[in-house]
Amino acid sequence: MANYGKPRILGRVIVLLLLILVLIGGGIVWFDYLNVIDAKTLLSPLYHFIGKEGRTQTAVQNKELISLDAERLAVRLEALELQKIDLEKQEQDLQNQRGTLEQMAAELEERQKALDEQEQSYNALVQESETRERNIEQNARYLNGMPPAQAVAIIINMEDQDIIEVFRKLEEIALAEGTTSIVSYWMSLMPPERAAELQRKMARQPSALS
């Protein structure tokens, strides 16, 4: 009974081994189809065993390795050169922008300087005008406080424009204080020719421009 079971077990083992070999072979063929492995290269020892030439991978020569390294190096050097050119261009653009900004700053500085000079000139003119206005008012009040004949004696020795400004200031003061201007009386005491010339100039020259 025991001897009868041994052939059956042996047959099953053989069948299983064959099934395993078939599965292995099918897996190799499938992976070779998927380009996961190179079946002929992997089975080259078996090809030699049965007397056939198996496919082997071609050995890479040292010169080819050096050529690949040189090519990679050349690509990197080219990339670095392009990066260098780009950086130089950016630097040139920055220098151009800096030059433009410096030129604009210089122009603004010149304009500000011109404006400052104009402001100083204007302030000087205003101050001079205010000083002259105070002096005219002071002289007008001083002459108005003197006896008419004495005041006229001083006035006839003054320039026509100065006399006109004093007369106008006296009229403004009289109008502001509600009094009568003495200008007409002074002119009646002056030489007729001088009084007529002053009247002509005062009529031709508006009060705002005197």
pLDDT digits (tens, 9 = 90+) for 97-129: 888 898 999 999 888 988 898 888 888 888 888
User: Which residues 6+ apart lie within 8 Å of 20 measured at CB?
Assistant: none
pLDDT of residue 75: 85
pLDDT of residue 17: 86
- Reported as a single tens digit per residue, the pLDDT across 16-26 is 888 888 888 77
Residue spans per domain, the chain = 11-56, 58-144, 146-210
Residue closest to 160 by CA, chosen among 205, 104, 130: 205
C-alpha–C-alpha distance, residues 198 and 196, integer Å: 5
Query: Low-confidence residues of the chain, pLDDT below 70?
Result: 1-7, 32-33, 35-66, 206-210
Output b/e per residue, 38-55; b: 16+ Cβ within 10 A: ebbeebbeeeeeeeeebe
What's the pTM? 0.43
